[in-house]
């Protein structure tokens, strides 16, 4: 690339930056003018933006950009002269705005796009702008697509307004971050203060050394006193006694001086500790602030998207923003982009009624979608609601029954909250037909998944006759998390505080037993109680089983609420999140690690994963009692059997047979699942089928025999294949016993298990 080409490339990049900035002003101003056509300040702002873009395009030599900006400027001048701006004018001006952005970011990076491939599109928009007057409104032409639509969760969504250039140009291998200059200056100033403060340690160390030397002199004086007193006892007379008195006086003075020195140094150290702690807090807060951005940075184009989608559906609608300046961590802001866009599209498509319906109900013709954001108790709270009709609960009941998610009687008894929860299920849609916007069943479940991924929560509410209300509660940052620290089996673990419903203690006398499961009463409902040590596969401590009060952490949501019994509550902590090494892969029940103030390592729970582990224990009937831990610990452990079969009927039959004989039974749905379970938990016997998806029984047996820790584990194959060659194949792989399902009966299985590992309890 020659110097002139480099200069041109640099000018094009400058124009792109100018276009990003001015188009944002144009979009906001034009949407405001659509609602208030005569607003002089908005007209003036749009005029300045169009004029700036015209000048920038002329400098760069983009004739197409000059022509579009000039046509827009003429239209706005006419409006300043008294011409009323109609919806057709706003549409044409917004088309021009999109074209200017596309000229700044041409498809494929082709700087000649405006003069070649895009010329016809530019001419059409200029012609439309020129043909509009105070009353005429020619047929609408398709709006120029934005160069880079905001990402959407659903493939059926309309493209959103363009994302900011900083996000488009970001190299995935090099993370870039725009930092406010004032915030960076403050960060550097605080870092300088920290460096100066650290120099104070050197004279402090010298003072302590001086105090140490004084103490050494005091010890030598003590030795002299002892020797003098010894001589006096030997009868050396008055002189020795006087010498002893002098030595004692010197010792007293030295000890006094040393005490004063140490007291002064200790006070200085306390002051330094206070200053250093406060400075470190300010330094951290400033560093965190440099990662924070106003929510408005992530809302660019949303007002335009709501307006355009409403017009495409024949529904006049606008977006109202409140709290757009609320500060949010950059990572949270990026994660919010697609979910917020989806919820806003959902509100326009499902919530806002057609104009004639709104008029009949006494509502304004133009609908309103509201997005509010604020900080609440150290969390980010975002609310999205509309003034539409809301969800038709009866239609929702019918959709639930039609999709066989519940019986008609069950659906009829469901509360509003229970019905609305179905909207969050994967693939659920109330639409029977597919449109460009809705009906494909890709939607709110993806929003909920994103919210859970960042350790947040999503709620839906609805008041009679009002629109659906979404509540998103999210952390302000992903780099730190406020947690509840607990002790389990002698080690520290942390629950993200945003996922904890309640931290309490339950008297052992209040723990009830029903059908083999334990529960306690919390706010009028029965909550299942599970030992956190069992979930983590750690041994119960004797101290935990002897206390009368059981510390319990209540987690979950809706119907999936459980209480986890822990050994001890250690209090609330703010932890810096440290991701686990990638080499470990996904560690079950654990999301990340951290260190406490005193350097103690802590594992942070993945609460959603913990709930799944609890539900698996419940489904397998393996919940151990919390109340009788001490008694159970002295009993012999039941022999454990893993049943691996892809047939639910066979799994349950074998599980019930073995459990009825007293064996501790776990199940796996295929060979891969069985292999993962074997590496995580100890077993005395494996019973496996052969034909299974992902990993068959032969491969499972081979892996067991090749693993140093598992190769001695007895394995029984139970298969429909009863030919001799099949039996030989299983035994050659390493199976200890082969039982054909064709000749299967209860006694045969139980006898074979007893032959291999003995009775259920040794």
- Give the pLDDT confidence of 592-628 residue by residue, as tens digits: 888 776 667 899 998 888 988 888 888 777 777 665 4
110: domain CATH number is 1.20.120.160
CA distances from 345 to 392, 643, 691 (A): 18, 47, 46
Q: 346 lies in a domain?
A: yes
- 314 in the same domain as 263: no
Helices (H), 367-519: 393-402, 408-413, 416-421, 444-453
Q: What is the DSSP string of 165-180?
A: HHHHT--TTS------
- 452 in the same domain as 310: yes
pLDDT at 110: 78
650: domain CATH number is 3.40.50.2300
**Count of the separate structural domains present in the chain:** 5
Q: 53 lies in a domain?
A: yes
Q: Is 53 helix (H, G, I), strand (E, B) or coil?
A: helix
- 442 in the same domain as 318: yes
CA–CA gap between residue 556 and residue 563 (Å, rounded):
9
Query: Is 70 exceeded by the pLDDT of residue 69?
Result: yes
Sequence-distant (6+) residues with CB within 8 A of 28 are 303
Residue at which a domain ends, from 89, 124, 148: 148
pLDDT at 493: 94
- 571 in the same domain as 503: yes
Q: 206 lies in a domain?
A: yes
What is the domain extent for residue 189? 181-292
- 394 in the same domain as 273: no
What tokens does 445 get?
């479940």
Q: Which DSSP category does 161 fall into?
A: P
CA–CA gap between residue 153 and residue 451 (Å, rounded):
13
Higher pLDDT, 35 or 200: 35
Q: 439 lies in a domain?
A: yes
Residue at which a domain ends, from 632, 649, 667: 632
CA–CA gap between residue 341 and residue 346 (Å, rounded):
9
Sequence-distant (6+) residues with CB within 8 A of 207 are 261, 264, 265, 268
CA–CA gap between residue 142 and residue 159 (Å, rounded):
13
Q: What is the DSSP string of 224-275?
A: HHHHHHHHHHTT--HHHHHHHHHHHHHHHHHHHHHHHHHHHHHHHHHHHHHH
What tokens does 585 get?
């892969």
CA nearest neighbour of 572 among 642, 489, 486, 655: 486
pLDDT at 600: 76
- 244 in the same domain as 201: yes
Q: 168 lies in a domain?
A: no
580: domain CATH number is 2.40.50.180
Q: 171 lies in a domain?
A: no
- 345 in the same domain as 276: no
What tokens does 235 get?
């009868």
- 459 in the same domain as 319: yes
Confidence bin at 26 (pLDDT 50/70/90): confident
What tokens does 254 get?
């030295």
- 467 in the same domain as 329: yes
Query: Is 50 exceeded by the pLDDT of residue 421?
Result: yes
Residue at which a domain ends, from 271, 292, 313: 292
What tokens does 399 get?
């959709």
Higher pLDDT, 163 or 454: 454
- 465 in the same domain as 346: yes
- 276 in the same domain as 308: no
Q: Around 113, how many Cα atoms within 13 Å sit in the side-chain half-sphere?
A: 18
Query: Is 50 exceeded by the pLDDT of residue 290?
Result: yes
CA–CA gap between residue 436 and residue 643 (Å, rounded):
47
463: domain CATH number is 3.30.565.10
% residues pLDDT > 70 (the chain): 79
Q: 705 lies in a domain?
A: yes
Confidence bin at 695 (pLDDT 50/70/90): confident
- 281 in the same domain as 326: no
CA–CA gap between residue 295 and residue 438 (Å, rounded):
27
Confidence bin at 370 (pLDDT 50/70/90): very high
The answer to whether 471 touches 459, Cβ cutoff 8 Å, is yes
Q: 580 lies in a domain?
A: yes
What tokens does 363 get?
């509502």
Which residues, listed in sequence order, are joined to residue 574 by a DSSP beta bridge? 482
The answer to whether 103 touches 65, Cβ cutoff 8 Å, is yes
Query: Is 70 exceeded by the pLDDT of residue 101?
Result: yes
């Amino acid at each position: 690339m020659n110097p002139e080409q480099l200069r041109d490339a640099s000018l094009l990049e400058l124009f792109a930056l100018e276009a990003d900035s001015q188009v944002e002003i144009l979009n906001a101003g034009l949407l405001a003018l659509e609602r208030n056509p005569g607003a002089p300040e908005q007209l003036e702002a749009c005029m300045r933006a169009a004029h700036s873009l015209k000048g920038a395009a002329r400098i760069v030599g983009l004739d197409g950009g000059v022509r579009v900006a000039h046509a827009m400027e003429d239209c706005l001048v006419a409006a300043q002269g008294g011409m009323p701006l109609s919806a057709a004018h706003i549409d044409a001006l917004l088309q021009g705005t999109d074209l200017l952005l596309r000229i700044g970011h041409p498809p494929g990076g082709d700087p000649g796009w405006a003069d070649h491939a895009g010329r016809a599109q530019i001419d059409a928009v200029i012609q439309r702008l020129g043909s509009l007057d105070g009353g005429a409104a020619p047929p609408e032409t398709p709006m120029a697509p934005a160069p880079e639509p905001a990402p959407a969760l659903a493939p059926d969504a309309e493209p959103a307004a363009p994302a900011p250039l900083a996000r488009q140009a970001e190299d995935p291998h090099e993370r870039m971050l725009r930092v406010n200059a004032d915030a960076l200056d403050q960060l550097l100033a605080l870092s300088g203060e920290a460096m100066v403060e650290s120099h104070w340690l050197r004279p402090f160390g010298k003072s302590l050394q001086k105090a140490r030397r004084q103490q050494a002199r005091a010890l030598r004086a003590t030795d002299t006193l002892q020797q003098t007193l010894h001589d006096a006892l030997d009868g050396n007379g008055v002189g020795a006694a006087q010498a002893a008195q002098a030595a004692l006086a010197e010792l007293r003075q030295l000890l006094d001086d040393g005490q004063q020195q140490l007291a002064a140094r200790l006070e200085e150290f306390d002051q330094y500790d206070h200053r250093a702690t406060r400075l470190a807090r300010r330094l951290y807060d400033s560093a965190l602030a440099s990662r924070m951005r106003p929510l408005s940075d992530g809302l660019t184009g949303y007002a335009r998207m709501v307006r355009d989608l409403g017009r495409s559906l024949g529904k006049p609608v606008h977006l109202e923003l409140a709290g757009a300046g609320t500060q949010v961590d950059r990572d949270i802001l990026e994660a919010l982009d697609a979910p917020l866009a989806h919820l806003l599209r959902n509100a326009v498509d499902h919530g806002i009624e057609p104009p004639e319906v709104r008029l009949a109900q006494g509502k304004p013709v133009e609908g309103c979608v509201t997005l509010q954001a604020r900080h609440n108790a150290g969390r980010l709270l975002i609310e999205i609601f509309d003034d539409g009709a809301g969800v038709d609960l009866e239609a929702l009941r019918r959709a639930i029954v039609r999709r066989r998610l519940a019986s008609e009687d069950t659906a009829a008894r469901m509360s509003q909250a229970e019905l609305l929860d179905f909207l969050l299920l994967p693939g659920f849609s109330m639409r029977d037909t597919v449109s460009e916007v809705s009906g494909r069943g890709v939607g709110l479940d993806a929003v909920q998944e994103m919210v859970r991924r960042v350790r947040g929560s999503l709620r839906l509410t609805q008041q009679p006759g009002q629109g659906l209300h979404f509540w998103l509660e999210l952390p302000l940052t992903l780099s730190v998390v406020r947690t509840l620290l607990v002790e389990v089996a002698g080690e520290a673990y942390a629950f993200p505080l945003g996922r904890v419903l309640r931290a309490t203690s339950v008297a052992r006398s209040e723990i009830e037993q029903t059908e083999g499961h334990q529960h306690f009463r919390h706010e009028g409902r029965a909550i299942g109680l599970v030992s956190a040590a069992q979930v983590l596969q750690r041994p119960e401590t004797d101290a935990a089983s002897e206390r009368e009060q059981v510390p319990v952490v209540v987690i979950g949501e809706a119907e999936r609420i459980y209480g986890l019994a822990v050994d001890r509550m250690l209090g609330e902590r703010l932890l810096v999140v440290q991701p686990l090494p990638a080499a470990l892969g996904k560690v079950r029940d654990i999301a990340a690690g951290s260190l406490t103030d005193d350097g103690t390592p802590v594992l942070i729970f993945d609460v959603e994963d913990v709930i799944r582990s609890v539900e698996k224990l419940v489904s397998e009937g393996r919940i151990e009692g919390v109340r009788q831990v001490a008694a159970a610990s002295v009993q012999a452990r039941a022999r454990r059997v893993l049943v691996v079969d892809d047939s639910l009927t066979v799994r349950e039959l074998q599980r019930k047979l073995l459990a009825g004989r007293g064996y501790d039974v776990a199940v796996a749905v295929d060979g891969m699942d069985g292999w993962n379970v074997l590496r995580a938990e100890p077993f005395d016997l494996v019973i496996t089928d052969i034909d299974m998806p992902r990993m068959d029984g032969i491969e499972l047996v081979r892996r067991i025999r090749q693993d140093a820790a598992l190769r001695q584990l007895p394995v029984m194959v139970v298969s429909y294949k009863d030919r001799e060659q099949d039996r030989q194949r299983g035994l050659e792989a390493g199976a200890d016993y082969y039982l054909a399902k064709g000749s299967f009966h209860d006694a045969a299985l139980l006898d074979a298990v007893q032959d291999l590992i003995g009775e259920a309890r040794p």
